[in-house]
Structure 1
Amino acid sequence: MENYTAEEYALCSRFKNKRTKKRLVKEDFEKQLIQLRKLEVELWKKRQNLPLVPLAMPYQKGWERSFVLREDIVRSNDASFYSTLLEKINTWQHSSEKSFKKKKKRKRKHVYVEKLQTVKEFSESEWRSPKLALTEKEKKHFYKRERWCPNCKRYKIHYVFNEPWRYVFRIKPYLITHTKMVDEDLESEIQVLDNYITNLNLRYKINKLVDGFSYRWSYYQKENPREISPIKNKSLHVLYQQYIDEMI
């Protein structure tokens, strides 16, 4: 010991030096953050898997639009074929208005136009997939069409049904008959964990550690409760009045 310094002795022995201790503390903290994410995901899955509970009084929430067979097609010999095909390509839309119109700006004016709705179209990858539920006879009623994709900046191939006139719209009230079960204990655990992560400002660190990046979503851009100023967005008159009230 007389011929060695303290740092040299620490390197030769099993004692941990200052740098190693600091690294171990950081690794332990990161492991705790990973466990927090796992616990959070587990609680979310439990809430997602809660069963539906029937409502005592169902209520209407807008309107639902879908396709049905035309009356003359129902009476034809091919009714069963087109009915089976409709189950595979039917689409549904919901709207608060029975007219199913949306506001659109044209020539500096807002006008209402009807929402576009068609039967399901298949992309090229879906068409070649072995999971496609269409039979060979049903595939003969589709044709290949190229359409410009503004997101991909190129033409993409779609397979479109060539006899859409066989189906017509059916509009009916959209009724809410069930609701998600609420577990108060589970919601309390989720809220406690979320408060802990938010108050200590750990959301960015957890996302960076687990996912490798952290998006600046609006959900995560909430101010830290510990950093919110009590005089934010208050005029001088209001602050002065509060000061007078406290002095009295």
Structure 2
Amino acid sequence: MQNYTVEEYALCTRFKTERRKKRLVRTDFEKQLIQLRKLDTELWTKRNNLPLIPLEVPYQRGWKRNFKLRDDVARSSEASFYRELLEKINTWQFSSEKSFKRKKKRKRKGVYVEKIQTVKEFSEWEWRSSKLELTEKEKAHFYKRERWCSNCKRYKIHYVFNEPWRYVLRVSPYMITHTKMVDSDLESQIKLIENYIVNYNLRGKINKIRGGFSNSWKSYRVENPKEKNPIKNKSLHAVYQQYVDEMIENHGK
């Protein structure tokens, strides 16, 4: 009688090899992470789609600044044209100070300079895009300008409005009139999934499965609580795993 090894015997039978068992375990775990990612995305979508609730007593939170038509232009015959153009190129700035000044260090002294605000400028890609809302008459009021980009280390083309004097800045209080609805059950589910991913450092693996890279986004680069205390949250692993498995099963149904 010929003797066979375990691996050779497994090839002739329906038993799974050790390598296949490990691969199935890893594949099953990756499928759970994919479902967990889908569930997390769905919960965040529900959170973002929650309606706004009007406040009984609105409150002021700083100041906002945008452009408006100059008084003499508003009384002219072309006021409607420039008003419609302003809706497409208007910009907003927000500040806690009404003066809209920012602190600039110069020779170890605090110097406050005013923030620069201009109407919207279009890049070369935006100018050629079919989604540009400007008409041909409105495009005639822009000129081509090259500007040095310190980030790209080269000159880039911008299309700038050639009559900025027609608009003046307007400062007004920035009032908060609505607040986002809060769903406590939804927040607890999101926080539970976030804690499970952070505590066991699964963000890089999820990104690798989903996009082919393991680097996590900057907003997710938080310190692992286990690195501070090795025994922290060890008792919560079973609770997290059981609850997450139940959510994934319910989500699949």
Q: Would you say same fold, with TM above 0.5?
A: yes
Moved more, 219-228 or 94-103: 219-228
How far is 1:202 from its partner? Answer: 2.1
User: CA–CA distance in 2 between the matches of 1:227 and 1:12?
Assistant: 50
Q: Which structure is larger by alpha-carbon Rg, 1 or 2? A: 1
How far is 1:129 from its partner? Answer: 1.0
Quick one: structure 1 residues 216 and 145, their matched pair in 2 at CA, closer, same or farther if it must change by over 3 Å? closer
Indicate the SS of the match to 1:50: coil
Q: Could you say which residue in structure 2 is the equivalent of 1:214? A: 215
* TM-score of the pair, normalised by structure 1: 0.87
How far is 1:47 from its partner? Answer: 0.4
Quick one: structure 1 residues 128 and 217, their matched pair in 2 at CA, closer, same or farther if it must change by over 3 Å? closer
Q: Provide, for residues 64-98 of structure 1, a one-character-per-residue CA deviation record: whole Å limited to 9, x for no partner.
A: 10000111111111111111111111000000000
Correspondence list, 1:12-91, <5 A: 12-91=12-91
How far is 1:21 from its partner? Answer: 0.7
* TM-score of the pair, normalised by structure 2: 0.85
Q: Provide, for residues 114-160 of structure 1, a one-character-per-residue CA deviation record: whole Å limited to 9, x for no partner.
A: 00000000111111111111111111111100000011110000000
CA RMSD of aligned residues (A): 1.8
| One-letter amino acid matched to 2:196 | Y
How far is 1:2 from its partner? Answer: 4.5
User: Unaligned 5+ residue runs, structure 2?
Assistant: 232-253
Question: Percentage identity across aligned positions?
Answer: 70
Quick one: structure 1 residues 228 and 4, their matched pair in 2 at CA, closer, same or farther if it must change by over 3 Å? closer
Query: How many residues are paired up?
Result: 230
Quick one: structure 1 residues 112 and 226, their matched pair in 2 at CA, closer, same or farther if it must change by over 3 Å? closer
Q: Is the contact made by 1:199 and 1:226 (CA closer than 8 Å) also made in structure 2? A: no
Q: Provide, for residues 18-62 of structure 1, a one-character-per-residue CA deviation record: whole Å limited to 9, x for no partner.
A: 111111111111111111111111111110111111011110000
Correspondence list, 1:1-248, <5 A: 2-211=2-211, 212-215=213-216, 217=218, 219-225=220-226, 227-228=228-229
User: CA–CA distance in 2 between the matches of 1:37 and 1:196?
Assistant: 12
User: CA–CA distance in 2 between the matches of 1:209 and 1:83?
Assistant: 50
User: Unaligned 5+ residue runs, structure 1?
Assistant: 231-248
Q: Provide, for residues 185-207 of structure 1, a one-character-per-residue CA deviation record: whole Å limited to 9, x for no partner.
A: 10111112222223333223222
Q: Is the contact made by 2:60 and 2:176 (CA closer than 8 Å) also made in structure 1? A: yes
| One-letter amino acid matched to 1:169 | L
